[in-house]
Amino acid sequence: MRLIKQGFERDGSGFVTLFPEELEDMWYAYNLIRPQDLLRASALRRVTTESATGSTSSTRVHTTLTIRVASLDFDPQSSQLHVSGRIAEETKFAKVGQYHTLDLELQRNFTLEKDGEEAWDSVARGIIKEACNPVKSADVWAVVMQEGLANLAVLTGARTVLRQRVEVSIPRKRGGRAGDHDKGLEKFFQTTLDTLLRQIDLNESKPILLASPGFTASSFQKFIIDTATRTGNKALMAQKANLVVVHSSSGHLHSLNEILQTPEVLARLKDTQYAREGKLMDDFMTLLRKDDGRAWYGPNEVEKAVDKGAVGRGGGVLLISNALFRAQDVAIRKRWVRLVDKVRDVEGGEVRTLSSEHESGKRLDGLGGIAAILTFPLDDLDEADEDAEIPHESGDGEQI
């Protein structure tokens, strides 16, 4: 993402003009745009004209429209972002109040304007800073497989995306018919490799995790190297050093969580955002199992810990899901922004916003979307008056 222009007022209102350069930027835009924001972007609109004789004709015209955002629809597989709302500024082709859906596109500017006090809060500005950081964490490819099934996924700094699933029927090994099994396995490996080559850029050097129960992953690694040697594919052979074979309990995507905790993978990914967030969740779960009062989760429990100064300098860590910042209720969003600001700016603690599209973020979502590692133990934070519970929303607007 490239920052083209920005202008912020003292009261927190203002605008930014951004230039999305890659699919990952649409994920950042999805987390940045909120209902009631003003969004200006290129649009393709159908216009109906009537001639002097009364006949009508319909054409599509390229124009620029400004809408007051009502809803967002993000497709995580294709990284397409559709933003719907009512037109806020009249143009030659559209009147104020008419409904339109803007499809944000790569290589085309869009301008986002937020009005109201503290509309551009620290979290929103942090998203822009991260999205426009040219030194983002490198992508990591993973092939999680078992005989006849392979899931090809890409891990970025913000998301885990399943790019393709390969399924090939492989005959079982039976007396005198082992050859059928071997042919089926070779077909499966060839299909998986062809699919992988359509997804990755061989000119880039990025880790490729091959994971499976048993010896399927190591056999696939050998198949890749043998294929590169046989075909003289030097670019594929150059990827040999990037292939990392690890064990998994199954060939399904959920096994990624255990794969990313293995020592050999952690060693390769130690500098990536994914690995750092995964380790923090592991540290939190270890403390939670010890039950020594240094690990708490849940909105009210964590807020109490912060109020007592237990999530500050000296090891305090606030873990919060980015899904909480997509709450449609402004008051609820401000609740979490204030908590983040207090931990980071007042108490001096560390704040980690975990992506709900990563395994670590999904684990955190299962705990209510918020947790904390304390600098000193606290007891009985969960003893609260039920009437004092403050509901909060998930990213889809549901109360938790």
pLDDT band at 124 (very low <50, low <70, confident <90, very high): very high
CB atoms under 10 Å from CB of 190, counted, come to: 13
3-state secondary structure of 131: helix
Query: In the sheet where 295-297 sits, what is the strand order?
Result: 295-297, 370-373, 317-321, 350-354
Of 88-92, 134-138, 317-321, 381-385, the least confident: 134-138
Phi and psi for 210 in degrees, rounded to 5? -115, 115
CB atoms under 10 Å from CB of 198, counted, come to: 10
- Tell me the pLDDT tens digit for each residue of 278-292: 788 989 999 999 989
**Placement of tokens 């006090």 in the chain:** 117
Among residues 154, 72, 123, 65, which one has the least CA distance to residue 353? 123
Could you give the angle at the alpha carbon of 245 between the alpha carbons of 22 and 247, nearest 5°?
110
Could you tell me if 317 and 350 are in contact, meaning their C-beta atoms sit under 8 angstroms apart?
A: yes
Could you tell me if 382 and 298 are in contact, meaning their C-beta atoms sit under 8 angstroms apart?
A: yes
Percent residues over pLDDT 90 in the chain: 55
- Tell me the pLDDT tens digit for each residue of 23-38: 888 989 999 999 999 9
Could you tell me if 167 and 149 are in contact, meaning their C-beta atoms sit under 8 angstroms apart?
A: yes
- Tell me the pLDDT tens digit for each residue of 88-121: 999 988 899 999 999 998 999 999 999 877 789 9
The burial of 248, by beta-carbon neighbours within 10 Å (0-12 exposed, 13-18 middle, 19 or more buried), is given as buried
pTM assigned to the model: 0.63
Pairwise CA distance, residues 258 & 270, whole Å: 15
List alpha helices for the chain, DSSP H: 24-32, 122-131, 178-199, 216-231, 234-237, 256-259, 263-268, 273-290, 299-307, 330-341, 359-365
